[in-house]
């Protein structure tokens, strides 16, 4: 009996095949949604570590509980200002990196 070798693929290869190559609008949209989902999960985790309810966090930044819930499910509808307010209210530090070609910009 012969054994058949199973072909394996990297995650990058699978993304290229099923979502689109890096730089395509489909891939950019996927990567953006993924980052926003991760950001929402980070907000929820920080809130829970502070033992706060969504309502309590909302009151601190001046929004309704529903807005915090929506933000935690996916931060893609939030402005950077709102995200900054959330992390400030949670006494959590957030860092943004801006890369132009091969150089990272730093705020001084």
CATH number at residue 80: 1.10.260.40
In a domain, 59, yes or no: yes
Q: pLDDT grade, residue 52 (50/70/90)?
A: very high
- What is the residue whose two structure tokens read 């950077």? 80
Give the integer Cα–Cα distance in Å for 25 and 93: 31
Judged against a pLDDT cut of 70, whether residue 107 lies above it is answered with no
* The pLDDT value given to residue 34: 85
Question: How many folded domains does the chain comprise?
Answer: 1
Judged against a pLDDT cut of 80, whether residue 36 lies above it is answered with yes
| C-alpha triplet 27, 29, 41: angle, nearest 5° | 115
- Dihedral, CA atoms, 41, 82, 71, 53, nearest 10 degrees? 80
Q: pLDDT grade, residue 80 (50/70/90)?
A: confident
Containing domain of residue 36, as a range?
11-105
The predicted model gives 80-102 an average pLDDT of 84
In a domain, 4, yes or no: no
Q: pLDDT grade, residue 60 (50/70/90)?
A: very high
């Amino acid at each position: 009996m012969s054994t058949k070798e199973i072909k394996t693929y990297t995650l990058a290869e699978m993304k290229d095949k099923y979502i689109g190559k890096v730089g395509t609008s489909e891939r950019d949209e996927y990567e953006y949604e993924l980052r926003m989902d991760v950001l929402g999960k980070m907000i929820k985790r920080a809130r829970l570590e502070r033992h706060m309810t969504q309502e309590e966090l909302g009151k601190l930044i001046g929004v309704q509980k529903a807005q915090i819930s929506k933000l935690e499910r996916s931060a893609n509808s939030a402005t950077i200002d709102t995200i900054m307010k959330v992390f400030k209210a949670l006494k959590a530090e957030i860092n943004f990196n801006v890369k132009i070609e091969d150089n990272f910009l730093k705020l001084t």
